[in-house]
Amino acid sequence: MTDGAQAAAGVSSAAAAVDPILDVDGVTLQYKTKEHLITATYRVGFKVYPADRFVLLGPSGCGKSTLLKGVAGYMTPVEGNMRLKGVDIKEPGPDRVMVFQEFDQLLPWKTVKQNITFALMNGGKCKTQREADDLAMQYIKKVKLDRFEDTYPHMLSGGMKQRVAIARGMAMEPDILLMDEPFAALDALTRRQMQEELLALWEDTHFTVLFVTHSIEEALIVGSRILVLSPHPGQVKAELNAHDLNHGNMSSPEFGELQTKIHDMLFADRILEDELQGEDA
């Protein structure tokens, strides 16, 4: 096993006393509106180690995006703390790059390559245009979009746009890549292809990723570790290892067992919620 794979397995990282890249400890995140105080997550804690493919899994509204906003530096916890490489997260920075679900995250008036070089220059990653061009092309090739570097976003399919967003995120070479349901709006086939491509990219560079999804199957395929969150407000239900699961062994007993286990965990909440709503009525 490579170092990255070991860290991803989460087994040896503790034993080898590797420091986490991201340490989220007892974090409560709230939204204050005029009338309401909405608690999105309640005392959530987890640690992401180098080369982890760490997945936040839970039903819609359980605070997954809110947690990413916190890590990205757009929200401050009312309780607990978030540290990146041991330093409190206070504001956004190029050391954390976000990839979203929406296809419109690219600048429509810039080409594929310009979208990436623009981020590289603005984020301070590259000092010269030449350097930015070279790095952009390197990552455009990684996501198999060479030949499309001079194309504008409106000419690309949804999957291709997501590849550009991923290439841009990876080219920034952040400490951690934040992905908020990046494949949720794609058709099933493209989604599967993108999951495979993401895993191939990970095999190549062993980047660290915090990946949000509400799909149990996607969590098992993409993730090396999975944090299962309860419905609103999001609280940690369980942390599980899924490093050996992929498309190739989806029909194996291990895959099925873990899928059922998570399903039951999430479904138990659903039943409880329905009962509570019944009492309200």
Interacting residues of 249 by C-beta distance below 8 A, sequence separation 6+: 255
In the list ligand ADP, Mg ion, none, the entry touching 2 (Cβ below 5 to 8 angstroms by class) is none
Report what 60 binds from ligand ADP, Mg ion, none; CB cut-off 5-8 Å by kind. Answer: ligand ADP
At residue 97, the 3 state secondary structure works out as strand
What residues numbered 58-87 form the site for ligand ADP, per CB under 6 A?
58, 60-66
Answer yes or no whether residue 172 interacts with ligand ADP by CB under 6 A. Answer: no
Binding residue for ligand ADP (CB under 6 A) from 232, 236, 240, 255? 232
Out of Mg ion, ligand ADP, none, what residue 111 binds, judged by CB under 5 to 8 A for its kind, is: none
What tokens does 155 get?
A: 């000419």
Give 104's DSSP letter.
Answer: G
Q: Is 114 in the site for Mg ion (CB under 5 A)?
A: no
Closest CB 236 distance from ligand ADP, rounded Å: 13
Query: What are the residue ranges of helices labelled H in the chain?
Result: 3-9, 12-15, 64-72, 112-122, 129-142, 158-171, 188-205, 216-222, 253-280
Strand 236-241 relative to strand 225-229, pairing: antiparallel
Strands (E), 50-121: 53-57, 79-84, 87-88, 96-99
Quickly tell me which residue has 């098992």 as its tokens. Answer: 220
**Residue 29 interacts with which of ligand ADP, Mg ion, none, CB < 5 to 8 Å by class:** none
Q: Which of residues 120-159 bind Mg ion (CB under 5 A)?
A: none
Among ligand ADP, Mg ion, none, residue 123 binds (CB under 5-8 Å by kind) = none
- Residue 137 or residue 228: which is nearer to ligand ADP going by CB? 228
CA 137 → CA 132, 197, 222, distances in Å?
A: 9, 17, 25
Binding of ligand ADP at residue 267 (CB under 6 A)?
no
**Using rule CB under 6 A, residue 213 touches ligand ADP:** no
Per-position x/- string for 26-65, each x denoting binding to Mg ion as judged by CB under 5 A, each - no binding: ---------------------------------------x
42: alpha, beta or left, given left = phi > 0 and alpha = psi -120 to 50?
beta
Residue 6 interacting with Mg ion (CB under 5 A)? no
Query: How far is residue 255 from each of residues 61, 217, 239, 243, 261, measured CA to CA in Å?
Result: 26, 9, 16, 11, 10
Q: Which does 205 bind (CB under 5 to 8 A by kind): ligand ADP, Mg ion, none?
A: none
Residue 76's closest CA among 86, 90, 65, 63? 90
The footprint of Mg ion (CB under 5 A) covers: 65
The footprint of ligand ADP (CB under 6 A) covers: 31, 33, 38, 40, 58, 60-66, 232
